[in-house]
Structure formats: C-alpha cells, structure tokens
Amino acid sequence: MDPSGIFPTSYRTDRRVVRTRWQAIALAVFMGLLLAAPYLASGRIIAVLNMMLISAVIAVGLQICTGYAGQINLGQAAFMGVGAYTASILASKTGMSFLLTIPLAGFAAALFGFLFGLTAARIKGFYLALTTIAAQFLFHFAVLNLPSSWMGGSNGITVPPAELFGFRIVGETSQFYMNLAVATIMIAGAFGIIRSRFGRAFVAVRDDDVAAGIMGINVAATKANAFLIGAFYAGVGGALWAYLIRFVGVDQFTLFNSIFFIAMIIVGGMGSIVGALVGVFVIRVIQEVIATVGPNIADSVSFLGGDIVFAGMNVILGGVIAGSMILEPKGLMHRWNILKSSFRIWPFPY
C-alpha cells in the first residue's frame, strides 16, 4: 500500500522499485553508509559484511528459483561450489582476470543447474527436493574422484588474488568494494528479472503450473530457467567466495550450507528480494554472535566440552529458524509490510 495521494497510472509505475522521494533518499543514504563502511567500522565488521554480500548474491538467486518460481532447491551450495571451482581453475591455471572468471563461473554453475532443472518438468515437491540433494552429492563425488590435477581432489585449490590494472585486491577493504559492486549489479538484475515477463511466468508456474500451461506459458522451460538463473547467482557468489578465502575445498560446500541458504529466504520472507537480504542479515548476525559467544561459554563451562556447547548453539540457531516458520511463516518482510500498512492508514483500522 502506497502513502496517501500516490496513485500509479501505468503498470511500469506500479511495479517501480523506488516509488517515493523518501524511499529514494533512504536508498541513497544506505548506499552511502555502505560505501563509507570501511572507514567507519572495524576490520571484523568488514569481514562479516563481506560474508553477507556473498551470501546475499546466493540467497537472491535461491529466492528467484524457490521463492518466485516455487522450485525447491536443496543444492544451492553445490552450484556455489561449481562456480568457486570454475573461478579457481581459470584464475590459477590460465591467469584470467576476475572480470572474466566471475561471469564464467556463473555460466558454469548455470549449466550444471540447468541439467537438474530439466527434471523439474516432470517432478515436483518432495521428489524435486531429493533430486537437488543428488546434485549436492554428485558435486562432491566428482571433485573427490576426478584426477587431482583437474580440481585438486581432497587437497583443494589455492586461488591467486584478483587484480585490476595491476592493483591486487587482497585486503578486506578492497574485497569489500569488489563484493559490493558485484552484489549491487546482481541484486539490481534480480529486481529486473522479477518485474519482467520471465518473473511473471515464474509466479504463474509457482501458483498453478497447470493453469499457467493453459494460458500459454511453457512450463518446462520456465522451471528449467528458474534453476538456471538461481544456479548462475550461486556460481557468481562462489567465485566471490573463492577470491575472498583464496582457497577452495570441497568441504566448504555441504548440504548443511544449502539448508542455511533456504533458512535465509524463509526467515526473511519467501517471494521477496528484500526479504532474502533481510534473512541473510539475520542469519549471519546470529552466526556471528554464536561464533563470538561460543568460545567464552566453552571456557566458563569446560566440564561440558566445547563440542557440546557449539552443538547447543546450532540448536539455538535451528530454533530461531523453526520459530520463524511457526510464528511468522511468511517471513519478516510480511510482518514489516503489515506494520507499514498499519502506519499509513492510522488511525483507521482498515
């Protein structure tokens, strides 16, 4: 619901992302704070922001695939791994610039995701979830069993730093600006996708694929395209991860990570790009608090053992996810939209 006096007169106006002057000002202030963050915050916070930006790219791709198209994807970490390995191999063995390795990593992951997206034309629901889990195990099997000279096997691959015009992007600050630039482009692209005819087709297939097919939408192609786009975003995020960590190993991309990406869009709100970003922020902050508080608790209650303490912390994080699904199944963005609507129509109850 828009503020009083705001009436869209065309579909393009109605679907505009920034609709009012105050929203434009708020967005400009937010971007200004992000650009100034390395000069205002500590190195630890910048490191956390780097993780959030990479997670945001991956979660937004998963939101398009699952939140908008309704295609359950439990293999997003595998697609991320394909992108990370592609960028690592191209950078370490060919010396290719990150300006090329990042998009090529996205295309490699998109191809891998498209293959599994083809199965979505015939299956859905629980069986589709099992198929995407198979992608996770297939990725691990391929990395560990292919010749080690190809993908490093269990030893992983060391990634050279990204370079631009002779400048090496190695510090947290320079990494932050690179991640911010890529994340901004990818998120802006996501808004463009969901506002296009492809986005409308995704929503139609999600709501009722039979009715969508009767209306003339190619359901099989739409489902496959949803996986392709979601995997492309994961591949780009994997490439950013490779350049940030400077080392890629198969144990970095597990089913557990895929579940956390699902949790991000559930907590933030399914079917909302901003909801995916909110979910990334909430989950990453919780993880950072756990990582900070966990060692202190382990020291103070040493008789329990550090493993038990950290297992308890993971239970707390799982409880937050379960509580979100029980108390606010539509996500935090749904509650935020209700609060905005209530404020705009106050003091009237309707």
- Model pLDDT for residues 247-267, shown as the tens digit of each residue: 998 889 988 889 889 989 999
Range list of H helices, the chain: 11-14, 21-40, 43-62, 76-93, 98-117, 126-145, 148-151, 172-194, 197-207, 209-214, 219-245, 255-268, 273-300, 306-327, 332-345
pLDDT band at 288 (very low <50, low <70, confident <90, very high): confident
Tokens matching residue 67? 């939140």
> Residue 291: is its pLDDT beyond 80?
no
Closest CA to 159 of 238, 227, 48, 66: 238
- Cis amide leading into 347 (omega within 30): yes
What number is the average pLDDT over the span 52-74?
Answer: 93
Residues 6+ apart with CB under 8 A from 270: 63, 66, 67, 330, 331
Per-residue three-class SS string for 232-284: HHHHHHHHHHHHHHCEECHHHCCHHHHHHHHHHHHHHCCCCHHHHHHHHHHHH
Q: What pLDDT, on a 0 to 100 scale, did the predictor assign at position 2? A: 60
Say how far apart CA 303 and CA 46 lie, in whole Å: 35
More confident residue, 346 or 32: 32
What number is the average pLDDT over the span 292-304?
Answer: 68
Q: Which of 16-25, 37-46, 223-232, 313-322 has the lowest mean pLDDT?
A: 313-322
Output the CA torsion 273→275→276→279 (10° steps): 170
Q: What pLDDT, on a 0 to 100 scale, did the predictor assign at position 100? A: 92
Q: Which CATH number fits domain 41-345: 1.10.3720, 3.30.1480, 1.10.1760, 1.10.3470?
A: 1.10.3470
pLDDT band at 340 (very low <50, low <70, confident <90, very high): confident
Say how far apart CA 61 and CA 106 lie, in whole Å: 11
> Residue 9: is its pLDDT beyond 90?
no
Angle at 243 between CA 242 and CA 246, to 5 degrees: 75
Place of tokens 């382990």: 298
What number is the average pLDDT over the span 9-17?
Answer: 73
Q: Is the Cβ–Cβ distance between 268 and 277 less than 8 Å?
A: yes
Q: Is the Cβ–Cβ distance between 108 and 151 less than 8 Å?
A: no
What number is the average pLDDT over the span 323-346?
Answer: 82
Q: What pLDDT, on a 0 to 100 scale, did the predictor assign at position 304? A: 58
Summarised one tens digit per residue, pLDDT across range 174-220 is: 999 999 999 999 999 999 999 888 999 999 999 988 899 999 999 98
Place of tokens 């209306």: 215
Q: Return left, alpha or beta for 215; rule: phi > 0 is left, psi -120 to 50 is alpha, else beta.
A: alpha
Q: What pLDDT, on a 0 to 100 scale, did the predictor assign at position 302? A: 63
> Residue 7: is its pLDDT beyond 80?
no
pLDDT band at 53 (very low <50, low <70, confident <90, very high): very high
Query: Could you give the percent of the chain with pLDDT greater than 90?
Result: 41
Query: Could you give the percent of the chain with pLDDT greater than 70?
Result: 91
Summarised one tens digit per residue, pLDDT across range 80-105 is: 999 999 999 999 888 888 999 999 99
Q: What pLDDT, on a 0 to 100 scale, did the predictor assign at position 328? A: 83
Q: How far is CA 53 from CA 156, 273, 292, 302, in A?
A: 24, 14, 20, 35
Q: What pLDDT, on a 0 to 100 scale, did the predictor assign at position 202? A: 94
Closest CA to 105 of 118, 120, 92: 92
Q: Is the Cβ–Cβ distance between 231 and 78 less than 8 Å?
A: no
Burial of 220 (0-12, 13-18, 19+ CB in 10 A): middle
Say how far apart CA 317 and CA 232 lie, in whole Å: 28
More confident residue, 109 or 23: 109
Summarised one tens digit per residue, pLDDT across range 108-117 is: 999 998 888 8
Dmax (CA) of the chain: 68
Residues 6+ apart with CB under 8 A from 43: 172
What number is the average pLDDT over the span 1-9?
Answer: 64
Tokens matching residue 98? 């990150």
Q: Is the Cβ–Cβ distance between 234 and 79 less than 8 Å?
A: yes
Say how far apart CA 232 and CA 112 lie, in whole Å: 9
Q: What pLDDT, on a 0 to 100 scale, did the predictor assign at position 10? A: 73
> Residue 1: is its pLDDT beyond 60?
no
Q: Which of 63-72, 117-126, 132-141 has the lowest mean pLDDT?
A: 117-126
What number is the average pLDDT over the span 286-307?
Answer: 70
More confident residue, 204 or 124: 204
> Residue 3: is its pLDDT beyond 90?
no
> Residue 140: is its pLDDT beyond 90?
no
